[in-house]
Structure 1
Amino acid sequence: MKLNKVFLAAGMFAVALTSCTNLDVNPSSQYTEDPSKNSGVDPMIMVEAKMADVYFHLSGTLGRRYMEAQCLASDEFTPLAFDGGYYDSGTYAHQALHDSRATDASLDWYDDVTSGITKANTVLEELGSSASAQMTAPARAMRAYFTWILMDSFGDTPILEKVPAEGEVVARSPRKEVAEWIESELIEIIPSLTDELTENTYGKPTKYMAQALLAKLYINWAVYTAESVDQYDAATAANPKLDACVEVCDEIINSGKFNLGSVDYLHKFSYDNGSHVEDFIYVMPYDVLTLPGMQYARPRSFKQMKGLLPNYYGSTDKFTNSFGGNMVVTPEFAKLFCLDGDIRNLCILRGDVYNRDPKTLQPTSEPFMYNNKQVHFTEDITLIKEDNTIDVGNDDNALQQGCHSIKWFLIPGDYNVKYEPGNKDGRSQSNDLPIFRYADILLMKAEALARIGKTGAKDLFNQIRAYAGAPQITAEPTLEEIYEERGREFFDENWRRNDMIRFGHFEDEFFPHYQGFPDANFDKRHRIFPVKQSVLDLNPGWEQNPGY
């Protein structure tokens, strides 16, 4: 079991003020004086204390519900129901069919993100106007990131630069204005953010985190500034920010502080990943004891894994908590993992399944057995009836439908932990979740160069292929090749929906999002999600996103 030192450090700074594991604490109750007026304490240490709750506020959101919305709305995953089990009022199926509802549990994170913005603004207000740019930059970076999450997923978004007065309703700003505001915020704060990469800055905003977010903003600029979400057309859209995207990517590349291959691909996402992974620019640093909520393996693992020994995670202890097994890889996406020698092929389980070595994370020769037969995961998925429940039944055959992701490698020592009050039911992981990676910077620059029509994308592309052990390309990559490579490289990291929209593939057909399939929706306005009904109810005057 991993123990995140950086999280403990933040907690020690805040221990006299508040517990940073309590993610629902009102920020105004955490501290009582402006650090600039406390001559006995290093002001930056006091800022750390104020910021601890802001840094890790979205651990629960990113660990489950945000992931469900992003992954299931893409062509990466489909949900399955088992004779009605895990249908859960259709919350998962709705995302996969691009038929989201304003009451879906998988969209419960809207108000959690706005709460994070409020916490950041509370910090800024309590720091006061006399605080230095260095002191305020981290809170502004987090506020910009939280605002980007809402803008990317829901379109028009309030620009909140202060804590609203009680009962005040803040209007949603047009998406284009929000993108421009985020850009201006990032450009202004980048010089004031730290460029140090230490255990103490791990999981916190740095100069490179803000630059990575700016690059992500620029590569999607044509999407975010379109007159409306359905008016964006990948084939004809002009992006005036491509040169700026290249420049900001170069800033990160030329820093020399990141690399692809210090840790092999599989271990970048395993239970023992952390600050030693030099591909990570910005992460959510999970730990089942101090920051629980990371639940990627729960719906991705074999449904009947509980109590099985041996199992395909290669553990010597049994898993004592149940699994869902209700998120599997679509047949279309599984076909991307086809390159000879590519280590990323091992991120999915398909065909005959073999137990893994928990140290190397590689398959052994030992078959994974269930009910005295080797488990065999099929690429294709057979439904018991073609309807919007996406139900496969609940027999042994049903449990082996679809390829399974094993990217977020799990150990019982994490999953079995029951921790009060934040993780009372267990089923969490200590795998840190990368939000921005150096690999993404290389492929964003490659994409920008390809869109501009300049050379240089091939060398960047081949850096990815080289460390993955995949075949090199011999000519400048096409945009479609870059799109497919992004699928392999960032599989199961919450980026595929974003990529599909930018590359013009969100309305493609993929299981079960097929023309004629019950409730499958191809309305281009569904490139963003509906705002939660509970949020609309609290904000009189707000209107639901068009198309919902």
Structure 2
Amino acid sequence: MKSYNIKQRVKVFVLMCTAILAGCTNLDETIYSSYTDENFPSSPKQYASMTGPIYVAAQKLFDNNLYELQEMGTDEIIVPTRGGDWYDGGRYVDMHYHNWTPSHVLVTNAWNTGFNAIGTCNQVLNQFENLEDTDDKEKTVAEIKIMRAWFYYNMMDAYGNIPIVTRFDQSVDAPTVNSRKEVFDFIANEIEENAMFLDEEATALNYGRPTQGMAYALAAKLYLNAEVYVGQPMWEKAEEFCNKVIELNQYTLGDYFEMFKPDNGADEKEIIFAVPFDSNKATGNRWQLRTLHFSHRNTFSLTATPYNGWCVAPGFFDSYQEEDIRKKVFLWGQQYDANGNPMEYSGVNV
């Protein structure tokens, strides 16, 4: 019986192997779980998904030291050293006293973040090169180029003479440094060539992405500062592009303080261009933690304790008239918790 069972099992095994081998002669398979040039991207939504990394880079731009670089050398932000807190190797003291160098951590961090963002734009543009020409592709490419122009504007504003790199597959050799005038002209030309392909109407669907209004506002800022950037005032060009924004009839002045509340969004018609954040899918932009006192957690029912860090120089604060509505953006004097009780920290009134 044992011999019979073994023979039967051998026969079955041989038959199974034969069937498997016969079934494996055609190895062509239709793959549905991978992106290829043939199946992706093929729709406006897929075009938009390809550009996602660009907007992540925009979020990082101001979360990674560019804002500090712009403001901490002015009177608007000062970061006092409190005990052992906020000294951080003297980086903020150096900014306040204008003692930064090319190797300063804020200078290098902002540079790296900005040019990584430009590289991301070039990489995504490279992916679009071989796609079929359609209106949707044309519009998406225009959005990418305007975003790249916006990144270049911020880098030119902060650093002056910088390299213009427009290809992702460009040589690995160090790029040539272009003059500020050349970068200025490059940004202006990118806006001129691409703004017409963008959405004219500002809606919830294009919130956070370039529209014609965003492109024209960027051009207006460029020309408004032309005397600094290229040594020649261009007031008429600045006025021309301001009028272009107005003529779109998409924006209205609203309540300044409402505009900057955490639940703002596409309904705020004063916002021409925004970099969206939220508490779940796009975290960051937690400036309130950097500016508020530890005890303000009880005032605003925060889920995290603030860092007791940034504040404004007294001379700048005192430059506002008492009745100036803009003074309401500051907290000063005795502070209170959510129930109206005076706040104390370590036995001292806050």
| TM score, norm. by length of structure 2 | 0.82
Partner of 2:315: 332
Cα distance in 1 for residues equivalent to 2:195 and 2:54: 18
Question: Contact between 2:48 and 2:140, CA under 8 Å: does it hold in 1?
Answer: no
**Offset at residue 354 of structure 1 (A):** 4.1
Hey, what's the Cα distance between the residues in 2 that align with 1:328 and 1:39? 49
Distance 1:95 1:327, change over 3 A: same
Structure 1 runs (4+) greater than 6 angstroms displaced: none
How far, CA to CA, are the matches of 2:35 and 2:112 in structure 1? 24
Letter in 2 for 1:280: I
Q: Which residue of 2 aligns with 1:267?
A: 258
Where do 1:187-336 residues align within 5 Å?
Answer: 187-226=192-231, 238-239=232-233, 241-261=234-254, 264-306=255-297, 309=298, 311=299, 313=300, 315=301, 319=302, 321-336=304-319
Which residue pairs with 1:65 in the alignment?
Answer: 65
CA distance in 2: counterparts of 1:40 and 1:149, whole angstroms: 30
Name 1:369's counterpart in structure 2: 343
* Residue 142 of structure 2 is aligned to residue 137 of structure 1: yes
TM-score (norm: length of structure 1):
0.54
What is the CA distance between 1:367 and its match in structure 2? 4.5
**In 2, Cα distance between equivalents of 1:367 and 1:66:** 37
2: distance between equivalents of 1:117 and 1:32? 25
What CA distance in whole angstroms lies between the structure 2 residues aligned with 1:168 and 1:66? 26
The C-alpha deviation readout for 1:249-286, integer Å capped at 9, x for no partner, is: 0111122211112xx22221121111111110001101
List alignment gaps of at least 5 residues for structure 1. Answer: 1-15, 18-29, 227-237, 357-363, 376-548
Shift of 1:164: 4.1
**What is the deviation of 1:154?**
0.8
| Distance of aligned partners of 1:192 and 1:353 in 2 relative to their CA distance in 1, 3 Å threshold | same
Q: Which residue of 1 aligns with 2:123?
A: 122
Aligned partners of 2:289 and 2:308 also within 8 Å: yes
Equivalent in the alignment of 1:156? 161
Greater per-residue strand proportion = 1
Partner of 2:14: none
Q: Which runs of 5+ in 2 are unaligned?
A: 1-31
Residue 309 of structure 2 aligns with an amino acid whose one-letter code is N
Paired residues in the alignment total 313
Letter in 2 for 1:325: N
Measured against aligned partners, the alpha-carbon deviations of 1:55-84 in whole angstroms (never above 9, x if no partner) come to 231313313522221121222111110123
The CA deviation at 1:136 is 1.1
Provide the C-alpha distance between the structure 2 equivalents of 1:40 and 1:92, rounded to a whole number of angstroms: 46
For the 8 Å contact 1:64–1:295, the answer to whether it is kept is no
CA–CA distance in 2 between the matches of 1:353 and 1:39?
56
8 A Cα contact 2:250 2:269, kept in partner: yes
* Secondary structure, aligned partner of 1:353: coil
SS at the partner of 2:68?
helix
Q: CA deviation at 1:339?
A: 5.0
1:64–1:296 CA contact under 8 A, matched in 2: no
SS of residue in 2 equivalent to 1:161: coil
Is the alpha carbon distance of 1:57 and 1:39 closer, same or farther for their aligned partners in structure 2, counting shifts above 3 Å? closer
CA positional deviation for 1:355:
4.9
Tell me which amino acid in the other structure corresponds to 1:256: N
RMSD (Å), alpha carbons: 2.5
Residue-by-residue CA offset, 1:426-472 (whole Å, 9 max, x unaligned): xxxxxxxxxxxxxxxxxxxxxxxxxxxxxxxxxxxxxxxxxxxxxxx
Please identify which structure carries the higher helix content: 2
Residues 145 and 194 in structure 2, CA contact (< 8 A), matched pair in contact too: yes
Structure of larger gyration radius: 2
Query: Cα distance, 1:345 vs. partner?
Result: 1.9
Deviation at 1:38, TM superposition (A): 5.2
Identity %: 26
Secondary structure of the structure 2 residue equivalent to 1:79 = coil
